[in-house]
Copies of this chain bind each other. A is one copy, B any other.
Amino acid sequence: MKLAIDHKSPIPLHIQAEQLLRELIKDPVYQAGKLLPNEVELAKKLAISRTTLRQAINKLVYEELLIRKKGFGTKVANSRISSKSMNWLSFSQEMKARGITVKNYELHVSWVFPDESTASFFDISTEKKIVKMERLRGSSDNPFVYFISYFHPRIGLTGEEDFKRPLYEMLEEEYSTIANLSKEEISALEANKFIAGKLEIETGSPVLFRKRFVYDQGERPMEYNLGYYKAESFVYTVESRRT
């Protein structure tokens, strides 16, 4: 674990401090509501200004990972909002846990120009082609989900990879890219003609639609994933606890 801050790095100091703090609070020593060193001391130790350190702490406070108390100190929050971390993101593993064997109905990999929103999430130009993966998956009886994934060019995918392997395992082993954070948006949609065809339902039928924004170790965008789930066959579960 990196305990110091590199002033020569192009990564902003407050980002480095933030990452450092995230690592720090994972340490068992800090788990049970323990106090952090005070800001003035810690800033001196890290050789950054108190303002910069506060900038980093602020983010974690906002995420409710840290709790500040005036005149007392900053402590590590005990219970975090767990969203039943999906084991972790892997579809096939999740299905396996439910006793469903995943069948791949279609798999298609291509190089395409990203649309506006994808390019914006990846922070790249719409003129630069990226790898797109489409997958139709389901149980042994019938397909019930259609996935579209876009991958950031930084990863360096060729499009020739073995996408039959569990995706995140492959990305980790072959490209040292680890999914670290996922932001998801879940909504209900009417199936358009294309999706309806894939999922073998009627156009206009409801589908559960999930956008997933996946970030790597450095909080950099790595995957943009769209999932269209046949309505009856999928339930998304979330568990959250008061903090």
Question: Which residues of A are interface residues toward B (Cβ below 8 A)?
Answer: 58-59, 62, 81-83, 85-86, 88, 178-190, 204-209, 229, 231, 234-243
Contact = CB atoms under 8 A, between A and B. Distances in A.
Given A62-B62, A81-B85, A239-B83, A206 B188 contact: yes
Nearest to A83: B240
A62 B190 CA distance: 31
Given A188-B207, A190-B206, A181 B239 contact: yes
A207 B188 CA distance: 6
Contacts of A85: 81, 240-243
Contacts of A206: 188-190, 205-207, 231
Given A81-B85, A204-B204, A206-B207, A186 B241 contact: no
Contacts of A236: 185-187
B237 A186 contact: yes
Given A83-B238, A181-B240, 19 more contacts: A83-B239, A85-B243, A88-B242, A88-B243, A178-B242, A180-B242, A181-B239, A182-B239, A182-B241, A183-B239, A184-B238, A185-B235, A185-B237, A187-B231, A187-B235, A187-B236, A188-B231, A205-B206, A206-B207
B240 A189 contact: no
A242 B186 CA distance: 19
Contacts of A82: 185, 240
A224 to B, nearest CB: 15
A208 B231 contact: no
Contacts of A181: 239-242
Contacts of A231: 187-190, 206
Nearest to A186: B236
A139 to B, nearest CB: 17
A212 to B, nearest CB: 9
Contacts of A240: 82-83, 85-86, 88, 181-182, 184
11 contacts: A58-B58, A59-B62, A85-B242, A88-B240, A88-B243, A182-B240, A184-B239, A185-B236, A186-B235, A188-B189, A188-B207
